[in-house]
Amino acid sequence: MIVGLKKAILHILDTNSGMGVFSDELLDINDAQINTFITTHIEKLYESASLRKAEFKDASGFRGKLEQYNNGEITFEELSKNAAERLYDAIASTEEPRACDLIAVEFVSNQSRIFGLLKCDNKTGFTHSIAQSDGKVKNNIINHYAILPSITNKIGECAFVDLDTKAIAYLGKKSKIDGDSVDIIAELLLECEYEISPRESANTVTKIAKKVAIENGADQLETRARIKEYITESIEDKNYEYVDTKEVAEKVFEGMPTVRDEFVEKMEKAGVPEKVEVNKYLTKKMTANIKLTTNTGVELSFPPEHYKNPEFMELITNEDGTISIKINNITELTNR
């Protein structure tokens, strides 16, 4: 991914002191350090599987500001300040307000114009200070309360809006306001309706399948193996760009219509979309080897298609109730 950074500005939302410091001037994106700091964080976040897709509500005030910006009625600085003021008011109303900095950006990715917001929670850390007195220099260690996340750390909350289509991808966290859990990025800043992310969808599919298998006496390992087999086949053989959750249900609970219908019903209630977008995270997670650990301390890792395939391995239930695992057709062992 290549990010063409066009504009950036930093606003300070210091809820600890009860004030926001809103900048009137843009950051110098020609400064290599500033540019690297911002673009590195954007690149980490923009294609993340944790991002949720969302749509503005019809009455969204922030959407109105974006349209004003697109029409040339307000400047980038004014748009970003409006976002910072909205976010500051939202954070200040939470039960545990936490100071942060907000970096607003405009960049181009794959020919799309994107407006982005990076919420950088302030971290406490130690740094040095230098003082001079009577011609002498004294170096000291001080506690700093407003340290930005380093480029090796991931920012926990952000939003990206396509300036042309108004499509939203965002990452938010719940905060308590008057006893209620509120996603301040989605509900108070953007005013949008959102779906669960591909990462959440993948995790939910696996968890629900396992739970339904346990409740109905199905083989948990076989359930996991069938899920991974389906994903691998869809991605590698059929070149699907999505995972069809109804096809997952048919594959995993084949011959068990009641269990299959229960699985589908639970996924609908959990908000898992019918088609889950395929991305690097989903491909890696869902096609990874199955890993088992026995009570004797033996660890096994094997491709899902090997499970219950006698050409590769066999699970044998002994008369005393213990389980034996037989691994077949090994031509080489490697010590790692």
How far is the CA of 287 from the CAs of 82, 196, 224, 300, in angstroms?
Answer: 43, 21, 10, 16
User: Please, where are the H alpha helices in 126-256?
Assistant: 198-215, 220-232, 245-252
The β-bridge partners of 137 are: 132
AA letter at 105? V
Q: What is the pLDDT of residue 71?
A: 95
CA angle 269, 275, 279 (to 5 degrees): 115
User: Concatenated DSSP letters for 295-314?
Assistant: TTS-EEEE-GGGTT-TTTEE
Query: By three-state DSSP, how is residue 194 classified?
Result: strand
Q: What is the pLDDT of residue 28?
A: 95
Spell out the residues 6+ positions from residue 271 whose beta carbon is closer than 8 angstroms to its own. Answer: 195, 196
What is this structure's pTM? 0.68
How far is the CA of 293 from the CAs of 142, 284, 298, 301, in angstroms?
Answer: 47, 21, 6, 9
Torsion from C-alpha of 206, 211, 214, 216, nearest 10 degrees: -110
AA letter at 2? I
- Between helix 245-252 and helix 220-232 the angle, nearest 10°, is 130
Q: How far apart are CA 67 and CA 168, in angstroms?
A: 14
Contact of 98 with 15, CB cutoff 8 Å: yes
* Residues, the chain: 336
Both tokens of 256, joined, read 């068990």
| Residues of the chain below pLDDT 70 | 1-2, 124-129, 142-147, 232-242, 278-288, 304, 307-308, 336
HSE (side-chain half, CA atoms, 13 Å) at 186: 21
How far is the CA of 35 from the CAs of 25, 173, 189, 294, in angstroms?
Answer: 16, 26, 26, 50
Q: What is the pLDDT of residue 142?
A: 64
